[in-house]
């Protein structure tokens, strides 16, 4: 890859970085994009080369120019020591946890964390003799009272991807470090454009690159970015587990990153407009979006974030399942799906109470998580308004 210092005479804007970082046309016969590298076998010219292992690429599983181009961009965005591309967001979480923990250790996990990560902790980690406890995502500096001598990692997700609590990352990082633990932060919602946990004290940042990085709902990917101190453990675990992202998927991540700044700005503007509009609708009991002044963590969001994502939630007045079905089954533009971050809008009924152990979900109404895509805002409002009418009629 081209040395960034040779490309930029001053600190570049995010837009410029996304456009130029991680690609070297001179190394690719002038082609503007790093092509898809597919392959397992890498050839060595001499016995010295294979014995010294100093060649840039040794074997396909260790990476290639396509995967490296993505890692270079994400690392620059996060301000990390190094970044590794892995097959999914869940893979990023599991590698990060295993890099910090061994038998007899404990991990503290936000009660609002991504549910598959909880399943991994409660199942696989428990089988390894590693215990997992959950904490209130709004605990802040109070997490120090939960730390034990064997607590070696804290897993935070800010905001939580179902109920959108903002966490006090600097306070949690300080408590973790005081007690000899590392802080892992899932930064998928805001992306490094709008939130940089490493600068706030985190040791490891993970992303479901499937979401905002890819941006087109056509590939799975995850990234892990670390401080210099945490890198060796993450690199070791990733290599031992054999997690590798194909050149084809890496190319799709790299393609998505080129437009990340433009897409994030568009998603943010549309999501905020619709969230504000939803607060005025009679069927809506609450809108849960950290960038709204009505959100209980809005001040914390303003302190630590420079923008907001496409994903938020709202609560509709209590109604039976028939009303929920009438609302979502007949949407024209919104679809139901577990992911988010693509060009298409999604609306998913969710029940966070199933995955809570410390902070019960007590709202009486029905919760819906929405991802605002790139359709016309008025068209999306119309689709929701028609859905609210069906919801009320079926009550």
Catalytic residue among 211, 258, 263, 369: 211
Neighbouring residues of 395: CB distance < 8 A, sequence distance ≥ 6: 319, 320, 323
- Here the tokens at position 84 are 């590794």
Based on the residue annotation, tell me whether 61 is a catalytic residue of this protein: yes
Of 38, 61, 321, 332, the active-site residue reads 61
* Residue 153: C-alpha distances to residues 112, 186, 193, 355 (Å): 16, 13, 25, 20
- State the Cα–Cα distance between residues 171 and 188, nearest whole angstrom: 20
Cis ω on the peptide bond leading into residue 159 (within 30° of 0)? Answer: yes
C-alpha dihedral, 74 to 79 to 80 to 81, nearest 10°: 110
Is 304 a residue of the active site? Answer: no
The yes-or-no answer on residue 114 being catalytic is: yes
Tokens read off for 307: 């923008």
Q: Which of 114, 135, 251, 391 is catalytic?
A: 114
Q: Is 186 a catalytic residue?
A: yes
Of 186, 249, 297, 304, which is the active-site residue?
A: 186
Active site residues per annotation: 61, 114, 186, 211
């Amino acid at each position: 890859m081209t040395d960034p210092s040779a490309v930029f005479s001053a600190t570049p804007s995010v837009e410029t970085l996304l456009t130029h970082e991680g690609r070297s046309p001179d190394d690719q016969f002038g082609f503007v994009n790093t092509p898809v590298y597919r392959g397992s076998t890498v050839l060595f010219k001499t016995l010295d080369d294979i014995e010294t292992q100093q060649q840039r690429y040794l074997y396909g599983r260790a990476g290639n120019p396509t995967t490296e181009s993505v890692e270079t961009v994400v690392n620059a965005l996060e301000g990390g020591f190094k970044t590794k591309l892995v097959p999914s967001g869940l893979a990023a979480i599991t590698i990060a946890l295993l890099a910090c923990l061994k038998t007899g250790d404990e991990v503290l996990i936000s009660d609002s964390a991504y549910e598959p990560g909880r399943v991994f902790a409660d199942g696989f980690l428990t089988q390894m003799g590693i215990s997992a406890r959950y904490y209130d995502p709004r605990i802040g500096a109070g997490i120090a009272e939960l730390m034990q001598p064997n607590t070696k990692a804290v897993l935070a997700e800010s905001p939580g991807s179902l109920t959108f609590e903002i966490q006090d990352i600097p306070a949690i990082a300080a408590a973790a470090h005081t007690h000899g633990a590392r802080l892992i932060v899932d930064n998928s919602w805001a992306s490094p454009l709008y939130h940089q946990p490493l600068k706030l004290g985190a040791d490891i940042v993970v992303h479901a690159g499937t979401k905002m990085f890819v941006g087109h709902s056509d590939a799975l990917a995850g990234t892990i970015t670390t401080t210099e101190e945490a890198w060796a453990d993450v690199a070791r675990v990733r290599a031992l587990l054999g997690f590798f992202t194909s050149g084809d998927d890496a190319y799709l991540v790299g393609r998505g990153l080129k437009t990340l700044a433009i897409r994030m700005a568009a998603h943010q503007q549309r999501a905020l407009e619709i969230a504000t509009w939803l607060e005025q609708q009679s069927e809506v009991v609450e809108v849960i979006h950290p960038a709204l002044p009505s959100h209980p963590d809005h001040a914390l969001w303003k302190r630590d974030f420079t923008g907001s994502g496409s994903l938020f939630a709202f609560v509709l007045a209590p109604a039976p399942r028939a009303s929920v079905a009438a609302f979502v089954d007949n949407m024209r533009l919104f679809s139901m799906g577990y992911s988010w971050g693509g060009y298409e809008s999604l609306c998913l009924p969710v029940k966070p109470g199933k995955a809570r152990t410390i902070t019960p979900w007590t709202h009486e109404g029905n919760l819906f998580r929405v991802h605002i895509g790139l359709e016309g805002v008025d068209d999306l409002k119309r689709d929701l308004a028609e859905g609210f009418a069906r919801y009320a009629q079926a009550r």
